Amino acid sequence: MRRVAVVGVGMVAFGRHPERTLGELGADAVTEALGDASLGWKDARSMFCGVVGGGMTPGTRVGNELGLTGLPIVNIDNASASGSSAFRAAYMDIASGRVDVSIAAGIGKSGRSLGDLRPPASHGTAEYRANLAGWAQGAMPPAGVFALRSRRRMHDFGCTIEQLAMVAVKNRRHASFNPYAQLRKPLTVEEVLAARMIADPLTVPHCCPVGDGAAAAVLMSEDRARALGYGPLVTIEASVFRTPTLAGDTESQDADTTRLTCMEAYAEAGMGPKEIDLVQVHDAFTVEEIEYCESMGFCEVGEGERMVERGEMTIGGKIPFSTDGGLLSRGHPLGPTGLAQVWETVLQLRGQAGNRQVEGARAGLAHMVGVGGVCVIHILRRG
Amino acid sequence: MQTPVVEGLFEMSGGDGLPHLLISRCGQCGAVAFPARKRCAACCGTSLVVEEAPGEGTVYSWTVIRELGGHRAEFEPYVVAQVDLSAGLRVQGLVDAAPETVAIGQRVRTGLTAVPNAGMDPGVVTYCFVPAGEGTR
Ligand SMILES: [Zn+2]
């Protein structure tokens, strides 16, 4: 396997873009990433596009916008982890020795909202039966699933709703320094508690917004990148993908899968949590950041909420999490989210993150989990 | 006349008017699952038998769903809980009780309820949980 570097990143601000198609959004992000790498679309030898839904071959439409160069384009749907999965696929295409330059893109437009479980009209089909079975067991939107986890955590570890709210407040503050974030207006714990209840005990700010956006990264073999004189160079030290097993020892399958994936990633990178300077995490709901902080080995199980309360996961703290605002405030258009994490990690490691810069950052971890049971972790390092 | 919303989740044939949840038990490793599976998630074995789950358990966690995409108007909030029926068997279901009466650790048993917000005939029912010791609605 060859070593791989990230030589360009680009983003379209997350939020609302009703006037632009998925293909146009993706083309803008890819063009920005290529510009960041001082490359052109013709230099790319393959592209992998993370997208959830979006009709047939949405990533291929990104390519059509940019020009018909004949390169292979693969569409990847892995729920929240689609963009991270596309990044891994581009990494593999270069690490294997097949190509020297590959693009990972992610695109997303909010359509039918998450958790819309209305039974479809066609009675008697397998899909209709599956939907009825969902209703029969108490139809659960994503917020409901994490409401159950939040309440149980409050029972098991004495976590308070204020401590959970602090995750939303912290990530909103980080987002206020990120012009590409969807929600940037500062937030207080009192405002989180007083907001509209979605699934007890979770109010709206405990849940990430799902909007429109795109993000992209240009990957290159490290040898070629060094020969071309890129610097400061950011390299990929670990790329690990897992689905769940039943071997978990906590009460959360996502946390268990995260722990196993992270252990593999640390081994692959020859690093441990002490060598990681910042983390981008799948904080679709506040309780997740606390759980995964523990799964990644930054503290003991049951300590995560105290890490947040002590400010240790804030920029300037011991191990900053979600430095760009996270899913909770930078936003989560599904397809591009994992690549927004790469964008943020690369800017941080290059020292280009402006007034949200983590001083002296040398290694960053990016983590996504997705519905159905996928977990993808990458560790990037400033070479 | 009450009709189960979907086949295969529970049976009402016990003569006591109560639903009996149908679980699978793996003939190789003993793992139990609800809803019943055809292949074992723990050992990938294929010799699974379907049996009835215990009718009583303990609330592991619970919530009240107040919004669901596409349902914000005239939406009827509903209580959902995860209930531990036996070792390794955690089941999710509706709770037919006021939210302020539900708590982690509470003993509950199975009952029947209408399916909220699905626009179904009131005679179409699903299993639910009610505080143990109360009559069925
Ligand atoms: Zn088995």
Contacts of A149 in chain B (CB under 8 A): 61
Q: Do A136 and B127 touch (CB under 8 A)?
A: yes
In this prediction, residue A120 carries a pLDDT of 52
A373 — contact with chain B (CB < 8 Å)?
A: no
Shortest Cα distance, chain A CAs vs residue B59, angstroms = 10
Which of the pair, A111 or A95, is modelled with greater confidence? A95
Strands A101-108, A197-199: parallel, antiparallel or unpaired by DSSP?
unpaired
Q: Which residue of B has its CA nearest to A203?
A: B66
Query: Structural domain tally of chain B?
Result: 1
Q: Which residue of B has its CA nearest to A126?
A: B6
Name the residue ranges covered by the structural domains of chain A.
4-114+210-227
- Side chain identity at residue B88, one-letter code: G
The answer to whether residue B11 is domain-embedded is: yes
Shortest Cα distance, chain A CAs vs residue B63, angstroms = 5
Contacts of A147 in chain B (CB under 8 A): 63
Shortest Cα distance, chain B CAs vs residue A288, angstroms = 16
How many CA atoms lie less than 13 Å away from A234 in the CB half-sphere?
A: 27
Of A173, A200, A165, the residue nearest A305 (C-alpha): A165
The answer to whether residue B136 is domain-embedded is: no
Q: Which CATH number describes the domain made up of A4-114+210-227?
A: 3.40.47.10
Q: Which domain holds residue B7?
A: 3-131
Of A29, A38, A26, the residue nearest A63 (C-alpha): A26
B38 C-alpha vs ligand 1 centroid, how far in Å? 11
Establish whether this prediction's ipTM goes over 0.90. Answer: yes
Q: What does the pLDDT look like over A241-265, one tens digit per residue?
A: 999 988 766 778 999 999 999 999 9
- Side chain identity at residue A367, one-letter code: H
Of A112, A340, A325, A331, the residue nearest A210 (C-alpha): A331
Average pLDDT over residues A318-326: 98
* Cα–Cα dist A57/A288, whole Å: 31
Q: What percent of chain A has pLDDT over 70?
A: 96
The answer to whether residue B137 is domain-embedded is: no
Q: Do A141 and B9 touch (CB under 8 A)?
A: no
Q: Do A200 and B99 touch (CB under 8 A)?
A: yes
Which of the pair, B30 or B123, is modelled with greater confidence? B30
In this prediction, residue A126 carries a pLDDT of 81
pLDDT bucket at A122, cuts 50 / 70 / 90: low
**Ramachandran area for residue A158 (φ above 0: left; ψ -120 to 50: alpha; else beta):** left
The model carries a pTM of: 0.95
Size of interface A-B (CB pairs under 8 A): 99
B81 C-alpha vs ligand 1 centroid, how far in Å? 26
Contacts of A199 in chain B (CB under 8 A): 63-67
Entry field: residues in chain A: 383
Q: Kindly report the backbone phi and psi dihedral angles of residue B77, in degrees, each rounded to the nearest multiple of 5, phi listed first.
A: -60, 150
Shortest Cα distance, chain A CAs vs residue B106, angstroms = 13
B 23-62 residues with CB < 8 A to A: 31, 35, 41-42, 60-62
Residue B70 pLDDT exceeds 70: no
A121 — contact with chain B (CB < 8 Å)?
A: no
What are the tokens at B23?
């679980």
Q: Do A152 and B42 touch (CB under 8 A)?
A: no
In this prediction, residue A54 carries a pLDDT of 87
Q: How many CB atoms lie within 10 A of CB A12?
A: 26
